[in-house]
């Protein structure tokens, strides 16, 4: 009865993350343990200097628990002073052991990454909200600029115009951040990649490679959007990520009979400098280009995937292997049904309702 009426100690609140403790005690050191129970994921009973304790992962988190020592009690009480001292000692021992076990944890990570028993985090909604925020701010500042110009308030109008372009550039950058994330999820939902190693390689790949895997650019409309966005991507990458020397890499200028001439830093290793340039895309034209792409993307068959992307649920790689996503992608109805079942499963797991 004492183990069932155990009390959480304050001394156990500094344990390492639950998964490290699990792999240390159960996976590596083979401690005896029990599995899932009422609001409990796993439990490891142990003795410390002849006294019994539990390291347990409960709904309210991982902890070290002291059993109720009074067999006549029917409720758990506050931990004893000795229990708190022991829990602090146990916690320090586990922390040190986890530090020593780092090579094992790394090996486990590498082994798991080669397979498909993985969930891929889905931050699509948060990233898209960031894009929307800056895009809306750009529009508001642009409208403010127009209104101030009509009132001949030129000083404030210039500031509003500057802020409109700042917000527009931030929105463009936020869009590309969102798109790189979403393209990976679209590739998985189409079962084009299905292992952790494949996801890692795609995450490290260039934007254009992510686009090509997620979207078939043999379609003329897809190719048109790809070309426009890729050109915009190069401009933003040059301007924001590489020292803000200009959207076309205008880092220098030289004097000539024609006057000052911009000398461009190119992305070519064979020809690193040039003076020829195509016109750069204006900020608000770029936002319209992005808006057109989004409208087109979700009007295609990939619009079914938008339900999953917007759900916030992680992508499950094993479902990319077993055909679950292929079936779910057949229609809006099948995807909605799939997500409804997945939401219930996820809620049960979060509540530890086994």
Q: Angle at the Cα of 57 (from 55 to 88), degrees rounded to 5?
A: 40
Q: Report yes or no on 1 lying in a domain.
A: no
More confident residue, 216 or 278: 216
Regarding whether 204 and 333 lie in a shared domain, the answer is: yes
Environment class of 81 (CB within 10 Å of its CB; exposed 0-12, middle 13-18, buried 19+):
exposed
SS (H, E, C) 151-210: CCCHHHHHHHHHHHHHHHHHHHHHHHHHHHHHHHHHHHHCCCCCCHHHHHHHHHCCHHHH
CA 284 to chain centre: 28
pLDDT for the residue 172:
94
Integer Cα distance of 230 and 253 in angstroms? 26
How many of the other CB atoms lie within 10 Å of CB of 335?
Answer: 22
- Write out the residue range of the structural domain in which residue 77 sits: 7-113
| Angle between helix 283-297 and helix 154-189 axes, rounded to 10 deg | 30
Percent of the chain, pLDDT > 90?
Answer: 70
Of 37 and 291, which is predicted with more confidence? 291
pLDDT tens digits, one per residue of 295-326: 999 999 999 999 999 999 999 999 999 999 99
Asked if residue 161 belongs to a domain, the reply is: yes
DSSP, collapsed to helix, strand or coil, labels residue 66 as strand
For helices 154-189 and 303-311, angle between their N-to-C axes, nearest 10 degrees: 100
Q: In sequence order, which residues have a C-beta less than 8 Å from that of residue 234 and are 6 or more positions away?
A: 267
**pLDDT above 70 coverage of the chain, percent:** 87
Q: How many domains does the chain have?
A: 2
pLDDT in tens, 39-97: 899 999 999 999 999 999 998 899 999 987 655 555 566 889 999 999 999 999 999 99
**Percent helix, percent strand, percent coil in the chain, to nearest 5:** 55, 15, 30
Both 159 and 106 in one domain: the answer is no
Taking all residues of the chain, what is their mean pLDDT, rounded to a whole number?
89
Instruction: Say yes or no to pLDDT of 331 above 70.
Output: yes
Residue 130 falls within a domain, yes or no? Answer: yes
Residues across the chain: 354
Is 70 exceeded by the pLDDT of residue 246?
Answer: no
Residue 197 within any structural domain of the chain: yes
pLDDT of residue 350: 80
Task: Classify strands 119-120 and 259-265 as parallel, antiparallel or unpaired.
Answer: unpaired
Shared-domain flag, residues 163 and 198: yes
In a domain, 144, yes or no: yes
**Residue 2 forms part of a structural domain:** no
CB 119 within 8 A of CB 127: no
pLDDT at 2: 40
One domain for residues 142 and 106: no
Confidence of residue 236 (pLDDT cuts 50, 70, 90): confident
Q: Are residues 281 and 168 in the same domain?
A: yes
| Gap between the Cα atoms of 252 and 245, Å rounded | 8
More confident residue, 242 or 134: 134
Distance from C-alpha of 40 to C-alpha of 74, rounded to nearest angstrom: 20
Identify the pLDDT of residue 259: 77
Q: State yes or no: pLDDT of 280 exceeds 70.
A: no
Do 181 and 288 have their domain in common?
yes
Task: Give the domain-ending residue among 66, 90, 113.
Answer: 113
Chain centroid, CA 65 distance in Å: 34
300 is a domain residue: yes
Residues 243, 258, single domain; the answer is yes
Are 95 and 184 part of one and the same domain? no
- Same domain for 63 and 175, yes or no, is no
Given this model, what pLDDT does residue 228 score? 95
pLDDT tens digits for 146-191? 999 999 999 999 999 999 999 999 999 999 999 999 999 999 999 9
Output the pLDDT for position 4.
55
Q: Tell whether the model's pLDDT for residue 242 goes beyond 60.
A: no
Same-domain check for residues 287 and 249: yes
Average of pLDDT values for 200-221? 95
């Amino acid at each position: 009865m004492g183990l069932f009426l155990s009390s959480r100690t304050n001394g156990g609140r500094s344990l390492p993350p639950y998964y490290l403790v699990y792999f240390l005690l159960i996976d590596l050191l083979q401690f005896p343990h029990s599995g899932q129970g009422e609001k409990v994921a796993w439990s490891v009973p142990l003795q410390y200097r002849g006294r019994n304790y539990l390291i347990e992962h409960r709904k309210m988190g991982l902890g070290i628990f002291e059993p109720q020592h009074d067999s006549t009690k029917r409720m758990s009480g506050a931990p004893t002073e000795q229990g708190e001292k022991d829990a602090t000692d146990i916690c320090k021992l586990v922390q040190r052991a986890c530090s020593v076990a780092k090579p094992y944890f790394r090996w486990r990570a590498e082994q798991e990454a080669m397979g498909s028993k993985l969930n891929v985090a889905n931050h699509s909604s948060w990233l898209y909200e960031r894009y929307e925020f800056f895009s809306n701010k750009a529009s508001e500042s642009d409208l403010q600029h127009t209104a101030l110009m009509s009132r001949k308030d030129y000083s404030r109008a210039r500031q509003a115009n500057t802020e409109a372009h700042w917000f527009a550039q931030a929105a463009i950058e936020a869009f590309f951040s969102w798109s790189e994330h979403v393209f990976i999820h679209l590739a998985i939902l189409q079962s084009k990649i299905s292992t952790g190693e494949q996801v890692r390689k795609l995450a490290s790949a260039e934007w254009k490679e992510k686009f090509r895997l997620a979207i078939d650019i043999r379609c003329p409309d897809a190719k048109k959007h790809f070309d426009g966005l890729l050109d915009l991507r190069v401009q933003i990458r040059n301007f924001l990520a590489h020292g803000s020397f200009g959207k076309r890499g205008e880092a220098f200028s030289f004097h000539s009979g024609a006057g000052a001439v911009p000398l461009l830093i190119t992305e070519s290793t064979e020809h690193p400098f040039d003076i020829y340039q195509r016109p750069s895309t204006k900020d608000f034209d770029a936002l319209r280009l992005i808006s057109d792409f989004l409208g087109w993307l979700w009007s295609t068959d990939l619009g079914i995937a938008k339900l999953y992307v917007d759900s916030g649920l992680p992508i499950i790689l094993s479902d990319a292997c077993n055909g679950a996503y292929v079936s779910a992608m057949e229609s809006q109805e099948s995807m909605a049904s799939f997500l409804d079942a997945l939401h219930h499963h996820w809620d049960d797991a979060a509540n530890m309702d086994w």
